C-alpha cells in the first residue's frame, strides 16, 4: 500500500534515472498533520485578481484575511476596482506582487473572482491575470477560480462564461499538477456568499492536497454562516461504517482529530482490527454487518443512551466483486448492490426516523468508477453512481431538517482494496491523474471531515471527486 516508485524517484539515484529515461517524478504532496487551524495560511500570501464587474470581493477578502494570509494584487491588473473598494470598506491592505528578484516569498495561491464575467472581452481579464503568474506558483500551490454558479447566472452570456471557467480550471489543473499544485473552481449560487468561508479554507489549504480540476457549488448556508470550520466537529458524534481499516479507519481518525466522538462500525469478522483502530482514537467499536435488517435500530440503540444521537454518518463500507457481466453470478451482483447501496438507503431511512440529529450530516463514499464506468464492474459502478443520485435526491429533505448530504468520489487510493489489483492495472491506475500518484486514505478523510462540518452547510447534494484529477470519467 505504498508507492515505491514515488520514493525511488525522489532518491538521488532515482532522480537521475528518471530524468535519463524521461520518466515522470510524482511530486510530494503536503498533507496536514494537525486539526483545522484558524490562521491556516499564516505566513503565506494569496494573490487576488478579478474581473471589473466582480461581486464577491468582500466575502472573499474577508475569508482569506481570516485565514491569516497576506493579501496581494497585481497593481496593473484592470479588474482591481471591486477588490480595492472591498478592501477599503474592510480596512484591509493590499500589497503589490513582489518581483521574482525581490527575495520575498512567492504567493502560495492565485485566486480569481470571476463572478462578474459576462462577455468574451471580460474573460480576457482572467487570462491577463493568470498567464504571467502561473509560472511563479510554488510547489503545492493553489489556484482557485470563484464564479457565479451557472444556475444563478442572470444572462446567456453570464452562464456561458461561468461554464467556460470549468474548462479553464480543468486544463490548468493538468498543467500545474507536476508541481503538486492544484486548480479548482468554486461556484457560488445566489446567497452562497454566506457559505464561502469553509470551502475557501478547504481548497486553499493542505486539506485538499489530492483534489484538483474539480468544481464545487456552494449555496446559502442559512443560519450557520457564523460557524467556523476549525473546531466545528468538537464534541460531535460521528458514525463511520467500514472503519476497521483503509479509508474508513482514516476517516475515523481525522474526525477524531477534529474532536468528534467516533463510533466505528465494521463487519463482525473485523472485530479485532476494529477494536484496535477504535482504541487508538478513544472511539467505540460496533461489530455489525451494514446489511443486517435491523442495522439502523441497533445503531440507534448503541448511540442513543450513551451519546443522545448522531451528528454525522459516514457510509464508507464497500466491496468489489468484479466480473464481466456475462460471467457475473447473481450472488456477486446481489452482494455488491446490497452492501454498497441497499444498506445505505435502509440505514438512513431508519436513522432519519430515530438516531440522527435533526441537523445531522451524511457523507456517502462513491467512486469515480461510478462516474466513468469500468469493464468488470457493472455491479460496483451501479452502486457508486446510485450513491451520487441518492445524495442529490435526498438533499432537499436534508436541507429541510437543517442538515446536508453529500458524496465523495475517490479515485485510486492506496488501500488493501487497490493493493489486491494485478500489478499492471494498479500501476496504470495510480499514475493516470494530474498528480501522477495514488491518493492516501487521509485525502478522502479530509474531504469527508470538511463536508461533515456544519460550517460546510452551503454544500448539499454534491459529489466531490478526490482523485488527483484522474482521467477516468473526467
Q: How far is CA 352 from CA 129, 313, 357, 448, in A?
A: 48, 11, 8, 20
Nearer to ligand NAP, 118 or 379 (CB): 379
Give every CB contact of residue 466 below 8 A, 6+ residues apart in sequence: 210, 211, 408, 409, 410, 411, 439, 443, 444, 447
Nearer to ligand NAP, 137 or 247 (CB): 247
Among the listed ranges 115-123, 215-223, 256-264, 415-423, the one in contact with ligand NAP (CB under 6 A) is 415-423
Number of residues interacting with ligand NAP: please give it, by CB under 6 A.
28
The least distance separating ligand NAP from the CB of residue 435, rounded to whole angstroms, comes to: 14
The least distance separating ligand NAP from the CB of residue 465, rounded to whole angstroms, comes to: 10
From the list 157, 228, 328, 417, which residue makes contact with ligand NAP (rule: CB under 6 A)?
417
Nearer to ligand NAP, 245 or 361 (CB): 245
- How far is Cα of residue 241 from the mean position of the Cα atoms in its chain? 19
d(CA 442, CA 257) in angstroms, rounded, equals 12
Nearer to ligand NAP, 157 or 417 (CB): 417
From the list 344, 365, 391, 459, which residue makes contact with ligand NAP (rule: CB under 6 A)?
365
**Residue bearing cell 435488517:** 293
For residues 281-300, which are near ligand NAP according to CB under 6 A?
289-291
Among the listed ranges 35-43, 67-75, 77-85, 238-246, the one in contact with ligand NAP (CB under 6 A) is 238-246
Give every CB contact of residue 185 below 8 A, 6+ residues apart in sequence: 144, 145, 146, 147, 165, 166, 169, 214, 215, 216
d(CA 133, CA 172) in angstroms, rounded, equals 12
The least distance separating ligand NAP from the CB of residue 209, rounded to whole angstroms, comes to: 16
- Reading the block at residue 342, the C-alpha cell is 441497499
Strand-pair category, 356-365 with 310-315: parallel
The least distance separating ligand NAP from the CB of residue 316, rounded to whole angstroms, comes to: 5
Helix (H, G, I), strand (E, B) or coil at 407: strand
From the list 45, 129, 412, 472, which residue makes contact with ligand NAP (rule: CB under 6 A)?
412
For residues 305-344, which are near ligand NAP according to CB under 6 A?
316-319, 339
- Reading the block at residue 416, the C-alpha cell is 488493501
The least distance separating ligand NAP from the CB of residue 315, rounded to whole angstroms, comes to: 8
d(CA 369, CA 106) in angstroms, rounded, equals 38
Helix (H, G, I), strand (E, B) or coil at 110: strand
Nearer to ligand NAP, 170 or 384 (CB): 384
- Reading the block at residue 132, the C-alpha cell is 504571467
For residues 86-145, which are near ligand NAP according to CB under 6 A?
none
Here's the x/- map for ligand NAP, 22-41, by CB under 6 A: it reads as --------------------
Of 135, 163, 180, 108, the closest CA to residue 433 belongs to 180
Q: How many CA atoms are closer than 13 Å to the CA of 138, on its beta-carbon side?
A: 13
Here's the x/- map for ligand NAP, 381-410, by CB under 6 A: it reads as -----------------------------x
From the list 194, 205, 418, 434, which residue makes contact with ligand NAP (rule: CB under 6 A)?
418
Please answer whether residues 262 and 335 qualify as being in contact, where contact means their C-beta atoms are separated by less than 8 angstroms: no
User: Measured on CA atoms in the order 419, 423, 424, 430, is the torsion positive or negative?
Assistant: positive
Nearer to ligand NAP, 111 or 300 (CB): 300
The least distance separating ligand NAP from the CB of residue 428, rounded to whole angstroms, comes to: 13
d(CA 374, CA 155) in angstroms, rounded, equals 38
372 binds ligand NAP, rule: CB under 6 A: no
| Residue 376: other Cβ atoms inside 10 A | 15
Nearer to ligand NAP, 263 or 455 (CB): 263
The least distance separating ligand NAP from the CB of residue 115, rounded to whole angstroms, comes to: 33
Q: Terminus-to-terminus CA distance in the chain, angstroms?
A: 25
Beta strands in 321-355 (DSSP E): none
Nearer to ligand NAP, 40 or 405 (CB): 405
- How far is Cα of residue 29 from the mean position of the Cα atoms in its chain? 15
Here's the x/- map for ligand NAP, 241-270, by CB under 6 A: it reads as xx-xxxxx-----------------xx-xx
For residues 152-211, which are near ligand NAP according to CB under 6 A?
none
The least distance separating ligand NAP from the CB of residue 304, rounded to whole angstroms, comes to: 20
Q: How far is CA 398 from CA 238, 318, 457, in A?
A: 17, 23, 11
Catalytic residues: 380
Residues that bind ligand NAP (CB under 6 A): 241-242, 244-248, 266-267, 269-270, 289-291, 316-319, 339, 365, 367, 410, 412-413, 415-418
Amino acid at each position: 500500500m505504498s508507492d515505491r516508485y514515488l520514493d525511488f524517484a525522489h532518491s538521488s539515484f532515482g532522480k537521475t534515472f528518471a530524468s535519463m529515461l524521461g520518466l515522470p517524478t510524482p511530486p510530494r504532496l503536503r498533507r496536514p498533520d494537525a486539526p483545522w487551524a484558524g490562521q491556516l495560511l499564516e505566513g503565506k500570501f494569496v494573490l487576488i485578481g478579478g474581473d471589473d464587474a466582480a461581486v464577491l470581493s468582500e466575502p472573499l477578502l474577508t475569508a482569506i484575511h481570516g485565514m491569516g494570509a497576506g493579501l496581494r494584487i497585481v497593481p496593473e491588473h484592470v479588474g482591481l476596482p471591486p477588490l480595492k473598494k472591498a478592501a477599503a470598506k474592510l480596512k484591509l491592505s493590499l500589497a503589490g506582487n513582489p518581483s521574482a528578484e525581490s527575495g520575498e516569498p512567492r504567493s502560495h495561491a492565485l485566486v480569481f473572482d470571476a463572478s462578474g464575467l459576462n462577455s468574451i472581452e471580460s474573460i480576457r481579464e482572467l487570462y491577463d491575470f493568470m498567464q504571467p503568474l502561473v509560472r511563479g506558483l510554488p510547489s503545492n500551490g493553489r489556484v482557485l477560480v470563484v464564479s457565479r454558479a451557472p444556475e444563478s447566472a442572470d444572462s446567456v452570456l453570464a452562464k456561458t462564461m461561468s461554464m467556460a471557467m470549468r474548462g479553464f480550471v480543468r486544463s490548468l489543473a493538468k498543467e500545474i499538477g507536476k508541481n503538486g499544485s492544484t486548480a479548482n473552481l468554486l461556484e457560488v449560487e445566489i446567497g452562497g456568499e454566506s457559505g464561502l468561508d469553509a470551502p475557501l479554507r478547504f481548497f486553499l489549504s493542505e486539506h485538499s492536497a489530492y483534489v484538483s480540476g474539480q468544481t464545487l457549488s456552494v449555496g446559502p448556508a442559512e443560519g450557520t454562516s457564523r460557524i467556523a470550520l476549525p473546531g466545528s466537529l468538537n464534541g460531535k458524534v460521528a458514525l463511520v461504517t467500514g472503519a476497521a481499516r483503509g479509508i474508513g479507519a482514516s476517516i475515523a481518525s481525522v474526525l477524531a482529530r477534529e474532536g468528534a466522538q467516533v463510533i466505528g462500525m465494521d463487519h463482525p469478522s473485523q472485530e479485532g482490527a476494529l477494536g484496535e483502530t477504535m482504541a487508538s482514537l478513544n472511539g467505540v467499536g460496533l461489530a455489525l454487518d451494514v446489511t443486517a435488517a435491523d442495522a439502523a435500530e441497533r445503531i440507534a440503540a448503541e448511540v442513543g443512551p450513551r451519546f443522545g444521537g448522531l451528528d454525522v454518518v459516514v457510509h464508507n463500507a464497500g466491496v468489489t466483486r468484479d466480473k464481466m457481466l456475462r460471467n457475473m453470478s447473481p450472488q456477486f451482483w446481489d452482494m455488491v448492490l446490497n452492501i454498497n447501496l441497499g444498506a445505505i438507503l435502509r440505514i438512513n431511512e431508519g436513522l432519519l426516523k430515530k438516531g440522527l440529529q435533526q441537523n445531522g450530516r451524511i457523507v456517502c463514499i462513491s467512486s469515480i468508477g461510478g462516474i466513468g464506468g469500468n469493464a468488470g464492474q457493472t455491479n460496483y459502478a451501479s452502486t457508486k453512481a446510485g450513491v451520487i443520485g441518492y445524495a442529490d435526491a435526498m438533499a432537499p429533505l436534508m436541507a429541510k431538517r437543517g442538515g446536508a448530504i453529500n458524496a465523495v468520489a475517490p479515485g485510486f487510493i492506496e488501500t488493501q482494496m487497490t493493493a489486491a489489483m494485478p500489478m499492471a492495472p494498479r500501476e496504470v491506475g495510480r499514475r493516470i491523474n494530474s498528480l501522477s500518484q495514488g491518493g492516501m486514505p487521509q485525502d478522502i478523510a479530509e474531504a469527508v471531515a470538511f463536508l461533515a462540518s456544519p460550517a460546510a452547510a452551503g454544500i448539499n447534494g454534491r459529489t466531490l471527486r478526490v482523485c488527483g484529477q484522474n482521467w477516468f470519467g473526467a
